[in-house]
Amino acid sequence: MSHFGLPAPVWSFMSSTLVWFRRDLRDFDHAALYHALKNHRRVFCVFVFDSAILDALPDRADRRVEFIHASVVELDTALRARGGGLIVRRGDARDVIPTLAAALAVSAVYTNRDYEPMAIARDDEVAERLRVLGIGFETFKDQVIFEKSEVLTQGNSPFSVFTPYKRAWLKTLTDFHLKAYPVERYAAHLAPPPDREALPTLGEIGFERTDLAELGIAPGMSGGRKLFDDFLRRIAAYKAKRDFPAVKGVSYLSVHLRFGTVSIRELARSAHAIGGEGAETWLSELVWRDFYFQILWHHPRVVGACFRPEYDRVQWDDAPERFAAWCEARTGYPIVDAAMRQLNRSGFMHNRLRMIVASFLTKDLGIDWRWGEKYFADRLNDFDLAANNGGWQWAASTGCDAQPYFRIFNPVAQSEKFDPAGAFIRRYLPELTKVPNAFIHAPWTLPPIDQKLAGCVIGSDYPAPVVDHAQARVRTLARFGVVKGASGDSA
């Protein structure tokens, strides 16, 4: 493996190489691209629409694929402006990359590391196929600030609790870790694709256009830049506003972080330099992201199993009808239903709401967190295995540094606290528009005559609650009693 600042491999400078773009769709501050350009005379670039991933998607109209496709088109334009361009293929990357590398007669393939178990297995297979061909495979850290074992406890073991990890992360951080890779310095080494074939259309890779434009989601580096510039004007208020879904308080950059159309180093560098409680709180969220990546890398068992193995003994309910009510925004709890409508309509859900609906599914409905994790994986524009798994296990009390199992979100109290006037609820549940503020969080408590006056009869115009929260709380404490004695308070 090569790292920033190390000398070039002995076979390099007079040779050609291939940079394999994956979740890093930008032509600036890009580790693999920088090292390839610095160490080689001719640098080809490739992106693969990997059939091993795409064929498993349940919907041909997938916003993420459209986002990637548009970002690839923009990346190709940017690379062409620098004298290069993007070779784009569709197929199994395990076959495409070695075949292309051999056809181009490159000495090595450069790429940025991925920490998901399936991606690691894919890269190991690609590396072996390239080795047989006499071609090198060089990987680099790019999508995180610290990876793998770069931040460890004093006992030289991985952290499993966030707060001490954050302290160690900040103590380890130097300006060097936030420094950008100056791609432009060696951009003259970019090589144009050998055949100037047109990039495949979205339809040619087997997918359909979605409502990205209607939702105001701008892909690519330009979309990420616009959002980041906007957020920098609001970052001072981030801590105060981030938990309120009805206001513009968060960055909305998660999908750009997911596909690398922004640079994590630039984001962290800006937050670190600005300082103050808003920027520091947002930097903490970026540290959480690194935390979950290192958890996934050190403990790949979390994919499909509890981080804390003793919690695998918890018996979840097999309740497909309650799960369907959650998925379809029919739980009768307005904050939960509004959040699920937001997800189903846009592929986005506010972070506070992710915690509320995850807690509701696991603690109120008694349903296995893995069901919710899979639903989010299918529908979130910003789906990222490490963060999604970490968030669901946190809410379900089965993960590292998780919410204690006896801390059970009260959905009505959460709604009253974070959407006090019901503005978010009414945005996604127009059937509750005329329900008075005093009853918007629990409309079943509105007297029947007033329900008729508000045009929202419970059980007809809007569902009755699928569960009673107080009773569900008792059941949850009993459910987790298999692990330890049940006691505690509702949050």
* Catalytic status, residue 444: no
DSSP 251-262: ---HHHHHHTSS
Helix H, strand E, coil C: the string for 397-442 is CCCCCCCCCCCECCHHHHHHHHCCCCHHHHHHCHHHCCCCHHHCCC
DSSP 230-296: HHHTTGGGHHHHTT-TTS--S---HHHHHHTSS-HHHHHHHHHHH-HHHHHHHHHHHHHHHHHHHHH
Which position among 316, 344, 431, 444 bears the catalytic label? 316
Which position among 20, 169, 326, 369 bears the catalytic label? 369
* Catalytic status, residue 316: yes
Measure the CA–CA gap between 17 and 422, rounded to whole angstroms: 56
* Catalytic status, residue 351: yes
- Quick one: which of 20, 58, 19 has its CA closest to 42? 19
Measured in residues, the chain has a length of 491
Measure the CA–CA gap between 94 and 75, rounded to whole angstroms: 23
Could you give the maximum distance between any two Cα atoms of the chain, in Å? Answer: 83
Measure the CA–CA gap between 424 and 158, rounded to whole angstroms: 39
Query: 32-41 burial by CB neighbour count: b if 16+ within 10 A, else e?
Result: bbbbbbbbbe
* Catalytic status, residue 282: no
Which position among 351, 416, 431, 444 bears the catalytic label? 351
* Catalytic status, residue 150: no
* Catalytic status, residue 326: no
Which position among 20, 169, 297, 392 bears the catalytic label? 392
Measure the CA–CA gap between 176 and 190, rounded to whole angstroms: 26
Which position among 184, 285, 416, 431 bears the catalytic label? 285
Q: Please identify every residue annotated as catalytic.
A: 285, 288, 316, 351, 369, 392
